[in-house]
Amino acid sequence: MAGGASRHAPLPLLPATLTALVLLTALRLAVAGASALAPDEAYYWVWSRVLQPGYFDDSPMVAFWIRFGTWLAGSDPFGIRLLGPFAAAAGSLLLARAAADLVPECRQAGLIAALFINATLLFGAGSIIMTPDTPLLFFWALGLFAIGRLVATGEGRWWLLAGLAAGLALDSKYTGLLFLAAVGLWLLATDFGRRWLARPECWLGLAIAALIFAPVMAWNASHGWVSFLKQGGRVGDWHPWDALRFESELVLGQVGLFTPFIFIFAVAGTWCLARAAWREKAPGPMLLSFLTLLPAAVFIQHALGDRVQGNWPAVLYPSAVIAAATLGIAPWRSWRLPASALGFALTAIVYLQAVAAPIPLPSRIDPTLRQLGGWRAFAAEIETAARREEASFIATANYGDASELAFLQPIRVVGLGARWTWFRLPAASPRIAGRTGLLLIRAGAGAPDPTAWIVLARLGRIVRSRHGVPAEIFVLYRVRAQKLPAGAVLPARE
């Protein structure tokens, strides 16, 4: 049943390569600890304080990773992000082994693929922040490794690891379903794969994946399928007048996140590998083609009706960089190091800007300012206003703002909105009814509902900024609750 590769095909990991990976991991840990949390990270930190089999937004794995990291290293940015750099390092090794197994004729494909993925801006930035993509990419790489071992050895036991990885990927983010879909198409499209459909190991692996994902399914079933409906509701969107803009944003965003030269390598490598796969029906290249092209097609289709966030296509990066690494002929070979060097240079600039912000860029072109800048000073200013007004709570409808304030300051924070009702958190109304508090609203979001408050007095504007460069403007009100909308009291930082 082997796919043509040697069972004991070597993976040349030079001491210099491993040393570089260790140093890169140490750098990422340092940057992770030195930079502020993004609003989404603070939101996932709230998840970790209320562990559940599912959440309104997605699968729960990121909450468990954060909970474990904070248990080991404390409830601060370093602890919250602790597992990210280690997962990136381990994922790089898994990817290198998978490349050696799936395209053994390309002798250095594993090392080049690991080099390329670490040089992408998405992987470099994603390894120092904690989002659902962090565990998703690790388990995706683990699944790719398992199938690579299956192709190289023909041993059915690797289906069990592949099923475990697929289930954990689904527990990380629903996008993990694309791994199962791509592998399913691969099984049907190749002689190698079709032979496994008659063997029990393949189906046992699928059963393991289903069993691991079952708690998330059960949570959704008992909560009106709210999370599935939220994510699945985007599929049928169709806005033809905006489609060209959304598609352009998708492509340009990936040029930036791959970094330009690696993006060219990935596109050219995928094209060449897919052509060879369909011509030769080789199982390794065919699998890589499905794992790249199926997610790409899904996100291109999605962009016909709505914006695709830059991190969503992250799952196609592992197979795309392996395809990029197969371009070993001149002149491609001579451009590998320049392409990687540019990627690492751009990532280093982002790291430096996230930690020290030496370049005073406006927020529209500086994602580190938009996401990370000025939160601690902003939270301190809100806390000062709350104590001056003798406010017993701070309320806001934006989940990221609420999570940042809960993480950074001690005054009780109330998250307004229906999303908080899906958490096992104390309901807001009984705890703040009739009490004086502050209401925080982003400028431009409209005036607050006057029927919800007995007292509603505008106090002024507050600007979140970094080194004098504004990131966002907020309006602050003194309020007293009358009939508060749906909401919950967020957990305080320990």
Work out the pLDDT band at 360, boundaries 50, 70, 90: very high
Work out the pLDDT band at 9, boundaries 50, 70, 90: low
Q: Kindly state the average pLDDT of the residues 308-334.
A: 91
Same domain, 204 and 320: yes
User: Do the domain assignments include residue 363?
Assistant: no
> Does the structure show a pLDDT above 50 at 166?
yes
User: Do the domain assignments include residue 360?
Assistant: no
Same domain, 213 and 313: yes
Residue 361 confidence (pLDDT): 93
Residue 291 confidence (pLDDT): 98
Task: Give the number of domains in the chain.
Answer: 2
DSSP labels, 384-419: HHHHHTT-S-EEES-HHHHHHHHHH--S-EEEESGG
Residue 238 confidence (pLDDT): 60
Q: How far is CA 277 from CA 106, 143, 272, 289, in A?
A: 14, 20, 9, 8
Q: Kindly state the average pLDDT of the residues 185-214.
A: 96
Same domain, 418 and 448: yes
User: Do the domain assignments include residue 193?
Assistant: yes
Structure-token match 């280093």, residue found: 348
Q: How far is CA 353 from CA 111, 314, 349, 375, in A?
A: 29, 23, 6, 15
Percent of the chain with pLDDT over 70: 95
User: Do the domain assignments include residue 39?
Assistant: yes
Which of 84-88, 241-245, 458-462 is predicted with the least confidence, judged by mean pLDDT?
A: 241-245
| Largest Cα–Cα separation, the chain | 75
Residues in CB range of 175: below 8 A, 6 or more apart: 136, 295, 312, 315
Same domain, 233 and 272: yes
Where b means 16+ CB within 10 Å and e means fewer, 424-455 reads: ebeebbebbeeebbbbbbeeeeeebeeebbee
pLDDT digits (tens, 9 = 90+) for 433-474: 888 999 999 998 888 888 778 888 999 999 999 999 999 999
Work out the pLDDT band at 4, boundaries 50, 70, 90: very low
Euclidean distance between CA atoms 214 and 205, whole angstroms: 14
346's tokens: 């751009």
161's tokens: 């690891």
Domain with 22, as residue range(s), is 15-354
Where b means 16+ CB within 10 Å and e means fewer, 395-407 reads: bbbbbbbbbbbbb
> Does the structure show a pLDDT above 90 at 376?
yes
Same domain, 182 and 270: yes
- CB-side neighbour CA atoms (13 Å) of 68: 10
Same domain, 441 and 349: no
Q: What is the radius of gyration, based on Cα positions, of the chain?
A: 24
Work out the pLDDT band at 2, boundaries 50, 70, 90: very low
Beta carbons within 10 angstroms of residue 162's beta carbon: 28
| Residue where a domain terminates, one of 311, 328, 354 | 354
Same domain, 336 and 399: no
Which of the two residues, 12 and 198, has the higher pLDDT score? 198
> Does the structure show a pLDDT above 60 at 3?
no
- CA nearest to 89, candidates 154, 37, 178, 27: 27
User: Do the domain assignments include residue 343?
Assistant: yes
Euclidean distance between CA atoms 176 and 313, whole angstroms: 11
Same domain, 298 and 406: no
User: Do the domain assignments include residue 366?
Assistant: no
Provide the pairing of β-strand 394-396 with 436-442.
parallel
Residue 7 confidence (pLDDT): 47
Phi and psi at 5, nearest 5°, equal -85, 155
Q: Are 139 and 209 in contact (CB under 8 A)?
A: no
User: Do the domain assignments include residue 4?
Assistant: no
Strands in 469-481's sheet, in edge-to-edge order, are 453-466, 469-481, 436-442, 394-396, 413-416, 487-489
Running DSSP on this structure, what letter comes out for residue 178?
Answer: H
| Residue where a domain terminates, one of 326, 354, 382 | 354
Q: Kindly state the average pLDDT of the residues 142-167.
A: 97
Running DSSP on this structure, what letter comes out for residue 309?
Answer: P
Q: Are 195 and 156 in contact (CB under 8 A)?
A: no
Euclidean distance between CA atoms 186 and 163, whole angstroms: 15
Euclidean distance between CA atoms 193 and 402, whole angstroms: 49
338's tokens: 């320049």
Same domain, 388 and 315: no
Phi and psi at 297, nearest 5°, equal -65, -40
Same domain, 314 and 401: no
Same domain, 30 and 67: yes
Euclidean distance between CA atoms 216 and 52, whole angstroms: 9
Euclidean distance between CA atoms 86 and 361, whole angstroms: 31
Euclidean distance between CA atoms 179 and 201, whole angstroms: 18
Q: Are 135 and 62 in contact (CB under 8 A)?
A: yes
User: Do the domain assignments include residue 90?
Assistant: yes
Same domain, 208 and 237: yes
